[in-house]
Amino acid sequence: MSTATGYRVHNPATDEVVETFDSLQDSEIDGILATAVAGQREWAALSVDERGTIVQKVADLFDERKHELAQIIAEEMGKRVSEGVEEAEFSAEIFGYFVKNAAELSKDRPIESFAGGRAMVRSLPIGVLLGIMPWNFPYYQIARFAAPNLMLGNAIVLKHAEICPRSALAVQKIMDDAGVPAGVYTNVFATHEQISEFIADPRIQGVSLTGSERAGAIIGAQAGQHLKKAVLELGGSDPYVILDTEDVAEAAATAWGTRMYNQGQACNSNKRMIVAEDIYDEFVAELVKLASAMKPGEPASEDETVYLPLSSRGAAETLAEQVAKAREQGATVHVGGELADGAGALFSPAVITDVTKDMDAYSEELFGPVAVVYKVSSPEEALELANDTPFGLGGAVFSQDEALAERIASQLEVGMANVNTPAGEGAEIPFGGVKRSGFGRELGPLGMDEFVNKQMYYVQP
């Protein structure tokens, strides 16, 4: 396994370092922040419509360049090309949504004042923000952070994952080509030590991180130490509850397709499938059939039976160790869970059952193509199991009895509860979690309500 570090294109299919990039120099930090502060002031002075004209060009360029963008992340982190195109299209949709809705979402909100004056809450930008983004959705993660904040009038310093330098630069080029002013969006190949320096600097007013629990704890602590607003979108182990279905094979196919999207490397993937006992055996058998049909292939393939490498050899090794530990502790691994020999990050999709509360896999996040299935005897047992986790990102409940599904889904301890669909998704749908899945929201109307000065404005007549 290659032990390369730093910013590089590290092809997960071959474990080959294709290209390396220089990290930021310490001497550059002050100039970057000075430019960002100056740029933000000019940007905030523009009207929402003026900012929107430029941000709409960002949206248009994401759509125009979607095939190029997809090819970049196919090599960087192994994403299927068709999924990369979808991601770029969704990013364009997100930027477009905030262009269209920013004026309404950030308008002054009058307050009835019993003192006789004129009172309102104004939504104002707070300044320069630091974004720390992950590799699993290199464009979408940036879009959901950058789009609302650019429309608010904030400026952004963006540190991307070290294995996504080309996609990071591609987004910077889109911003530049769209006419985003200097300093308003700045990509930095910063080290962890330099990120600490950015957070400590008084010119940074807020921090947004999407990543692991460990990273969230570190960044959250640093933000708190320096009294900075933070949004943290962390891990998840989302429950996917199937109380009944008229077509078990179709339900299993939907669950499997959801779990396999992006090779299972999504925070809100259905990592725990909780299935009613009367359909459990057939459901598991269908999953095993689907997993057994999977074969390794190339990112250009649109064949749903083709699986691709995980983001890195290290990620694949970690997942393989988790699956092996589950087996050692008594879980049943029906199929898959094997790390390919030699270089590369191929990991065969797996189906696991018989996980009990005393096993590590019960409370861990398995970030990859692993379906863990639990059997329950009642909706109440399903709910108890669904909520018995340190995470609280999303969850879904399926039943032909919609009222029953809604009753259970409404009691999920998650930031996003869904009924009869794997996930409600769209630029207008807020995203975020509770418990150890973090705090704060992105997308939708809540996406413009985080890094904002909700200024009380009162005029005495």
| Placement of tokens 């591609």 in the chain | 170
Rounded to whole angstroms, the Cα distance separating 398 from 130 reads 39
Ramachandran area for residue 280 (φ above 0: left; ψ -120 to 50: alpha; else beta): alpha
Catalytic-labelled residue, pool 76, 87, 162, 233 = 233
Catalytic annotation present for 267: yes
Cβ–Cβ < 8 Å for 183, 38: yes
Rounded to a whole number of angstroms, the distance between the first and last alpha carbons of the chain is 72
Catalytic annotation present for 233: yes
Nearest to 149 by CA among 454, 448, 374: 448
Which residues are CB-contacts of 54 (< 8 A; sequence separation ≥ 6)? 178, 179, 180
Rounded to whole angstroms, the Cα distance separating 325 from 207 reads 36
Rounded to whole angstroms, the Cα distance separating 152 from 102 reads 7
**DSSP reduced 3-state for 337:** coil
Ramachandran area for residue 190 (φ above 0: left; ψ -120 to 50: alpha; else beta): beta
Rounded to whole angstroms, the Cα distance separating 229 from 129 reads 9
What is the helix (H) or strand (E) element at residue 97, kind and residue range?
helix 81-105
Rounded to whole angstroms, the Cα distance separating 78 from 210 reads 19
Cβ–Cβ < 8 Å for 292, 335: yes
Cβ–Cβ < 8 Å for 86, 66: no
Amino acid sitting at position 390: P
Q: Which residues of 401-420 are buried (b: 16+ CB within 10 A; e: fewer)?
A: eeeebeebbebbbbbbbbbe
Catalytic-labelled residue, pool 267, 286, 364, 450 = 267
Report CA 250 to chain centroid distance, whole Å. 27
* Ramachandran angles phi, psi of 290, nearest 5°: -65, -45
**DSSP reduced 3-state for 272:** strand
Rounded to whole angstroms, the Cα distance separating 284 from 65 reads 41
Rounded to whole angstroms, the Cα distance separating 98 from 430 reads 13
Which residues are CB-contacts of 45 (< 8 A; sequence separation ≥ 6)? none
Which residues are catalytically annotated? 233, 267
